[in-house]
Chains A and B, each alone.
Chain A
């Protein structure tokens, strides 16, 4: 029989894999000795010595003196140098910019928020505002700019992640096919990635939120817009033209027919999102004799929870729609978990009603629960991706 060629990992690749493994152990367990690393990793002592030396030359680990001896020479204790660099996660919202600065171990170093107005929301203006805010944040936390290793920006739009191009962003001025990564590279020398905000939020929930260890799940966000981040086998799935998870365009029953237009909201999004809920509430108020003003969609759901019949009717309609969406997603992907996020999507009364409606359905035996990170999910997702790629590139470049 013909012998098949056996794939052998190149030494450099093997060393990178081992380096990632040891770093993970160091981060999880805290400072420890090489002997501990040998035990925990299953690698040989010479390999661990070799890889630790490699990590030290990349500035990622350092010795912190001697540990307690168990008879014999006291072991050298080494630790992960989380301060080797820092990363920034950023989020562009319909009327805000948010930033989170973290070290390489994902510890929060600082945050910043700033408002954006329609008048000054052109790509160049937003880019300049991001640069200014990031520099201020770094300065406040005493981080020299050359220590910034990664900047990841989440945007509420379809994004070509490879090229860093934002396709279209209806809430801001002139955002159509914007090469945001290229624009930001003129400001910063670090790695820059642009990503869809919902995909980042899903990453955040996967790394430190309600979807830890879930390799196949769908994160649904309902706020101003409606979208989904799809995790398959532990990685985000973006589709062939970067538009996977754009469930705002789903056609479900109960919504009148109308074609989704370019730069506009999809059909489902128009009704299920916060503006649609407010529209329904205002329509109800016109008819009813007990007018009551609300400031946001969440308040409508709060009223429903407090027993207001009209608000409850609106909530029940949304729960029915969302149940249909979850049913469709379950039939297509059969995920282990569906997480609801966004200020509307994570409302406890909505979850309760969706669970009740899905109970009768054979095919939606999926776990539905609420996301854990709230409005920070996008930022945390961004920080985790930035951390991972910063560490990988440090390991690679010191090879």
Chain B
């Protein structure tokens, strides 16, 4: 029975949720991001506020079964940590690093990092956790996160471009994600633009755009350009580090930064010519790099036709996927009462 207090005792300055008492029997959801090397889990209330997070390395674990038991373990630790009851969990949403059918919850294929094929992840999760489960591509989840709580709030047409080791886009059109006929809309790592390799990639290989400006591709160019004379630290540099070296005046790094920015500008321009979005939100370790964004913006200033693309860094950073997962889990919990949110499908 809910006790109705007189209105006058309500104070606006009080925290909205008292974590110690009644709210804990309310509704909660779990959001999960299966990254290339880390598994991250968040527990959130029905407003989407995160109560706690848990992370572990997945570097050595390739099998879906192991990942699911890690999720199980993390979920229970979070429940203990936050004193939330198991019975008050309503749904779980998981971001997978690969082509994913959101309707059936099957992960068709993951990137060359992991090598999953046709994994019925939602069904496996549901069986293991006894919880309504939904699975979505991780980059699309990040786009959902940015749309809900990040740099693209209130923007119906935008492109979230994730540039890390791989490259992919989450595309919003008229406020909905574009999925395409085979759920591969936004696989822009395989785009061919001037300056990239011009032969299409084979399955399981990084795409031309990925090879050119993805984290590993940039590192390979750096290694090729400074054979052993740079010392151990130079050999260990990541793409981000290389771009900061460019900012500090290193000529080889400057050349790589300039080339990366030019190719990224071509990719942004081409996607913009097709979709004319209001905004590009750049995410991922490489995509959020300040020197790269600044250099790309300078090049895009010349590309005013048919419309000048606007680019910004992700506002949620590495939390974008988790926020998207929380949003999708909330939608899943809601869908048991209402209709599913509409998405574009063939």
Contact = CB atoms under 8 A, between A and B. Distances in A.
Bin chain B's interface residue count. Answer: 35 or more
Given A232-B344, A243-B276, A334-B184, A251 B194 contact: yes
A328 interface: yes
Contacts of A328: 191-192, 270, 274
Contact of B266 (A230, A251, A332, A336): A251
Contacts of A233: 176, 344-345
Q: Which of B192, B271, B303, B305 has the most CB of A within 10 A?
A: B305
A266 B305 contact: yes
Contacts of B187: 331, 334, 363
Contacts of B184: 331, 334, 363
Interface stretch (B166-174, B247-255, B290-298): B166-174
A17 to B, nearest CB: 17
A142 interface: no
B193 interface: yes
B157 A240 contact: yes
Bin chain A's interface residue count. Answer: 35 or more
A4 B184 CA distance: 35
B181 A246 contact: no
Contacts of B192: 252-253, 324, 327-328
Nearest to B193: A251
Contacts of A253: 192-196, 198
Q: Which of B188, B274, B275 has the most CB of A within 10 A?
A: B274
B303 A331 contact: no
A246 B344 contact: no
Q: Which of B186, B273, B344 has the most CB of A within 10 A?
A: B273
Contacts of A232: 173-174, 178, 344
Contacts of B136: none
Contacts of A242: 276
Interface stretch (A82-90, A147-155, A256-264, A306-314): A256-264
A68 interface: no
Nearest to A246: B306
A381 interface: no
Contacts of A238: 276
Given A215-B346, A240-B278, A243-B307, A332 B337 contact: no
Q: Which of A233, A246, A329, A331 has the most CB of B within 10 A?
A: A331
A19 to B, nearest CB: 24
Interface in B149-193: 157, 169, 171, 173-174, 176, 178-188, 190-193
Nearest to B159: A332
Nearest to A245: B274
Interface string B311-346: 000000000000000000000000001100000111
B277 interface: yes
A215 B343 CA distance: 13
Contacts of A249: 269, 273, 305-306
Nearest to B179: A334
Contacts of B195: 253
A399 B193 CA distance: 54
A246 B273 contact: yes
Given A249-B306, A331-B188, A332-B169, A239 B275 contact: yes
B302 interface: yes
A8 B191 CA distance: 45
A160 interface: no
A163 B85 CA distance: 55
B274 A332 contact: yes
B307 to A, nearest CB: 5
A127 to B, nearest CB: 25
A362 B202 contact: yes
Interface string B259-286: 0000000100111011111100000000
Contacts of B174: 232, 237
A241 interface: yes
A262 B304 contact: yes
B111 to A, nearest CB: 14
A259 B278 CA distance: 21
A364 B303 CA distance: 27
Nearest to A266: B305
A386 B269 CA distance: 34
B203 interface: yes
A319 interface: no
A215 B186 CA distance: 18
A250 interface: yes
Contact of B181 (A239, A335, A362): A335
A105 B270 CA distance: 40
B200 interface: yes
Interface string A253-280: 1110101111010100000000000000
A251 B276 contact: no
A252 B157 contact: no
B190 A239 contact: no
A298 interface: no
A239 B180 contact: no
A101 interface: no
A240 B338 CA distance: 30
A69 B207 CA distance: 69
A246 B278 CA distance: 15
Contacts of A259: 302-303
27 contacts: A4-B337, A230-B274, A239-B277, A240-B157, A240-B276, A240-B278, A243-B307, A244-B274, A247-B274, A249-B306, A252-B194, A255-B194, A257-B194, A260-B305, A327-B190, A328-B274, A331-B187, A331-B188, A332-B171, A333-B178, A334-B178, A334-B179, A334-B180, A334-B186, A334-B346, A336-B181, A365-B182
Q: Which 3 A-B pairs have the closest CB atoms?
A: A334-B180, A239-B276, A243-B306
Given A259-B303, A264-B305, A364-B200, 7 more contacts: A158-B306, A216-B346, A328-B192, A332-B171, A332-B191, A334-B184, A362-B201
